[in-house]
Amino acid sequence: MRKMKKAAAYVMAAAMMFSMIGCGKKNEEATSATTATGSDAQTTQAAVIEDDGDWVTTEAALPDTRRFTIEEGSDAIGINFDDNDLHGFTTFAEGGVFDIEAKGGACEVNISGIGTAEHGCQVYFDGFAMANGCKYRMCFDITSSVERMFEWRIQLNGGDYHAYASDRVNIGPETVSVDYEFTMEETSDPAPRLAFNLGKYEGFEDIGAHTVTIDNVSLFVVDGSNAEVIKGCPVPIQVKVNQIGYKPDDVKSVLVTSPDDEKFKVVNVSTNETVYIGTYSAAAFDPAMGTSVRIGDFSEVTAPGTYQIISSPSGASYEFDIGDGLYDDIYKDVVLMLYNQRCGTKLEASVSGDFAHDACHTQEATVYGDTSGKTYDVSGGWHDAGDYGRYVVPGAKTVEDLFLAYEDFDYTADDIGIPESGNGVPDLLDEARYELEWMLKMQDEATGGVYHKVTGLTFPGMVLATEETEDMVLAPISYAATADFVAVMAKASVNYAQYDQAFADTCLAAAKKGYDFMKANPDMGGFKNPDEILTGEYPDVGLTDETFWAAAELYLATLDDGYLADTKEAIDTKYNTGLGWAGIGGYALYDLAKAEGIDSGLQSNAKEKFLAVAHKKLSSCQTSHIFIGIETYPWGSNMVVAGDGMYLLMASKLEDDPAYLEYAQKQRDYIFGFNGTGYCYVTGYGDLSPQDTHHRPSQALGKTMPGMLVGGADENLEDPYASAVLYGKPGALAYVDNSQSFSCNEITIYWNSPLIYLMTGLQ
């Protein structure tokens, strides 16, 4: 396997390399004979072949979809509200009570409460760019029905939200015309935010209801002569492969996102010799890619080595390997990522390197809305994602994925490198137990219900975990958290029994107690953040799958008739059959389908239902131009792709069809570079991988933690940075490697976990 290398000018290098390969080079030695595993590789396939010499490679050029150019004497923002339209002006609140309206040719802000911070009432505008070296003039007119002070800012829209330019201004009934000239000294920003902070300032008490009117907002380019050209997203490489590599016997495909390439060759990088020439499939237009794509097959190349595809005329792919054991290092890092996300404990430098830290978030938490002052120890568990919240719902999904990887592949490795390695318990179970011990603390002793999450009231700045010292708050008990808790605790009682019977008993008792809570509260509905809690919500209104999963796992753990009856009833209701954090019915179906010695009608019903979904997924993969199950790209699309790969592997356990394995590998290939953007979506690996993730430890330290799977393409452009730089991109290309883009470039425990399952199964 190959760790990340410096991405060079591959296309050019490839073109030069070709001239070195030259025509008519003699077929000297074969690059390799058969593979070490004794696969059926044939010497002829790996042999150097005659190059036909007819190769043209030009630099790929996709249209530049940048939205913003700097034109001297023009407005980067120019809005006068004369048409009574807000033109994208909108609000953010932290405790503030207010609204905005375009009225009388201006933007009117009606405030009845200023909230708890300067940005307690914020009016903002996104959708412009700021270029380094450019001289701007910020102008607007403003009045307020009462005398007050406020601050306007043009700020980084993420991270520490620091201002590029700002000023505090006293306003009142008389119109104030702000006119402020400045030069953008910092790195160009394609997606800053203009904010009017009309909230609470120190020494500034609530001033009662008032109206602020904003008009004639202009950010004028005074002098653009030194302005840097703002770069859009890099042009994706046209020729895409799995950058980590293939096992000798894998079906191997290359994707070219251009209709013009007819043929490609596979070149051994260390010898510069061509080992295979292939022709592409016919061009097919792929709407999600926004272009025609062609597929080349080079499965015949089986000899271990490092290769590159040269495609005519689109150029070269990144390098990739063929061989065994290519995934050993990346697998470890993908698993260790969970260790690195551990909360409430010291992270050892021997495991975490630069990401080691002392125990974080050890402060006791209060229950939201409880004024008694009672606090609870809910330390432990994994940080969910780029934020430090600990949420039961996605935590349970992660634990289940680890359980399945352990169960389905009998994966008992005890040497992954966590502190528990070598303790005689499989590391995947040790890692899962870290979350389970925390989840046990999240159960309310009195009722058996489970608190939805523990976080601060708001997300912290981009600080280290030990620096989030805000009060911890337990969000209300939710039905989804309780049901997910029940399911994984019930399963834990089975999986840990042979290692620690006492722990297994604790888990089962907790599961039963949680189930009683569910029975007593069937109509709780989905979780909603209380007004003051602004951290991740994980809302889910469809709870039939959660009910089903909880009952099924309790039945499997106990074979009790009561749980059996509930499971039988639940399995025939309508529910989501996914493997997500919200739709989880697939887990229930699968665990029943693969179980032995259970009610046979239930088992076959589950198997039939699970396989029906798997058949659909398989056929979506088979009809997809790029062999993947998804057609649309939601937030966290990489989780769905990894999850589809997982689904296919699970199906292969229930039904014999080699296509399952082949297409599970295709989902893997997508994750590692066989995709629209050409990114290997796991940090630290491949030639092109995310380097600027939305992940507080990485941002605070200025380096990227390895082994993290990012969310990936999100066609809905769900953050301001993405909407600025990805505007107009087709869904499969809607990805940007920037920490401000939390909808593309965040990481989570439950995006890594299906990848852990997939990689465990494919190794």
Contacts with Zn ion, residue ranges (CB under 5 A)? 343, 360-361, 465
Cβ neighbors of 596 (< 8 A, separation 6 or more) are none
Please pick, from the candidates 189, 286, 321, 384, the single residue that binds ligand 9MR as defined by CB under 6 A.
384
State how far the Cα of 506 lies from the Cα of 256, in Å rounded to an integer.
54
Quickly list DSSP for 297-337: E-TT--S-EEEEEEEETTEEPPPEEESSSTTHHHHHHHHHH
Please pick, from the candidates 94, 333, 387, 484, the single residue that binds ligand 9MR as defined by CB under 6 A.
387
Report, in Å, the least distance between residue 450 CB and ligand 9MR. Answer: 18
Give whichever of 62 and 463 is closer to Zn ion, judged by the CB atom.
463
Q: What mask of x and - would describe binding to ligand 9MR in positions 553 to 592, judged by CB under 6 A?
A: ----------------------------------------
Please pick, from the candidates 267, 283, 338, 385, the single residue that binds ligand 9MR as defined by CB under 6 A.
385
Report, in Å, the least distance between residue 748 CB and ligand 9MR. Answer: 5
Give whichever of 495 and 704 is closer to ligand 9MR, judged by the CB atom.
704
Q: Does 635 bind ligand 9MR (CB under 6 A)?
A: yes
Which of ligand 9MR, Zn ion, none binds 286 (CB below 5-8 Å, type-dependent)?
Answer: none
Give whichever of 496 and 735 is closer to ligand 9MR, judged by the CB atom.
735
Which of Zn ion, ligand 9MR, none binds 618 (CB below 5-8 Å, type-dependent)?
Answer: none
Question: Which of 746, 744, 710, 740 lies closest to 187 in space, CA to CA?
Answer: 740
Which amino acid, residue 587? Y
Q: Token pair of 655, please?
A: 């039904």
Residue 348: DSSP 8-state: P
Which amino acid, residue 551? A
From residue 82, give the alpha-carbon distance in Å to each of 100, 103, 214, 369, 533: 15, 9, 12, 45, 37
- Region binding ligand 9MR by CB under 6 A among candidate stretches 51-59, 92-100, 235-243, 531-539: 531-539
Report, in Å, the least distance between residue 277 CB and Zn ion. Answer: 54
Q: Does 712 bind ligand 9MR (CB under 6 A)?
A: no
Question: Which of 690, 731, 628 lies closest to 253 in space, CA to CA?
Answer: 628
Q: Token pair of 473, please?
A: 């708050």
Which amino acid, residue 387? D
Give whichever of 451 and 635 is closer to ligand 9MR, judged by the CB atom.
635
Q: What are the φ and ψ backbone dihedral angles of 247, each rounded to 5 degrees? A: -75, 155
Q: Are 450 and 444 in contact (CB under 8 A)?
A: yes
Report, in Å, the least distance between residue 339 CB and Zn ion. Answer: 13
Footprint of ligand 9MR on 537-556 (CB under 6 A): 537-538
Report, in Å, the least distance between residue 80 CB and ligand 9MR. Answer: 34
605-608 LR contacts (CB < 8 Å, sep 24+): 605/571, 605/572, 606/571, 607/654
Q: Does 748 bind ligand 9MR (CB under 6 A)?
A: yes
State how far the Cα of 501 lies from the Cα of 493, in Å rounded to an integer.
8
Give whichever of 318 and 635 is closer to ligand 9MR, judged by the CB atom.
635
State how far the Cα of 34 lies from the Cα of 494, in Å rounded to an integer.
44
Report, in Å, the least distance between residue 698 CB and ligand 9MR. Answer: 14
Which of ligand 9MR, Zn ion, none binds 51 (CB below 5-8 Å, type-dependent)?
Answer: none
State how far the Cα of 21 lies from the Cα of 57, in Å rounded to an integer.
13
Give whichever of 434 and 635 is closer to ligand 9MR, judged by the CB atom.
635
Q: What is the CB neighbour count within 10 angstroms for residue 763? A: 14
Q: Does 705 bind ligand 9MR (CB under 6 A)?
A: no
Q: Looking at the DSSP assignment, which residues form a beta bridge with residue 660?
A: none
Q: How many CA atoms lie within 13 A of 175 on its CB side?
A: 10
Give whichever of 343 and 404 is closer to Zn ion, judged by the CB atom.
343
Q: Does 636 bind ligand 9MR (CB under 6 A)?
A: yes
Q: Token pair of 756, please?
A: 């852990």
Residue 159: DSSP 8-state: T
Going edge to edge, which strands form the sheet with 121-126?
90-93, 121-126, 193-197, 148-155, 163-171
Cis preceding linkage at 63, omega within 30: no
Which of Zn ion, ligand 9MR, none binds 748 (CB below 5-8 Å, type-dependent)?
Answer: ligand 9MR
SS3 state at 473:
strand
Please pick, from the candidates 193, 736, 746, 761, the single residue that binds ligand 9MR as defined by CB under 6 A.
746
Give whichever of 237 and 726 is closer to ligand 9MR, judged by the CB atom.
726
Which of ligand 9MR, Zn ion, none binds 635 (CB below 5-8 Å, type-dependent)?
Answer: ligand 9MR
Report, in Å, the least distance between residue 220 CB and ligand 9MR. Answer: 36
Q: Looking at the DSSP assignment, which residues form a beta bridge with residue 87?
A: none
Number of chain residues interacting with ligand 9MR (CB under 6 A): 12
Please pick, from the candidates 232, 344, 426, 536, the single residue that binds ligand 9MR as defined by CB under 6 A.
536
Which of Zn ion, ligand 9MR, none binds 435 (CB below 5-8 Å, type-dependent)?
Answer: none
SS3 state at 229:
coil
What is the contact surface with ligand 9MR in residues (CB under 6 A)? Answer: 384-385, 387, 389, 536-538, 635-636, 742, 746, 748
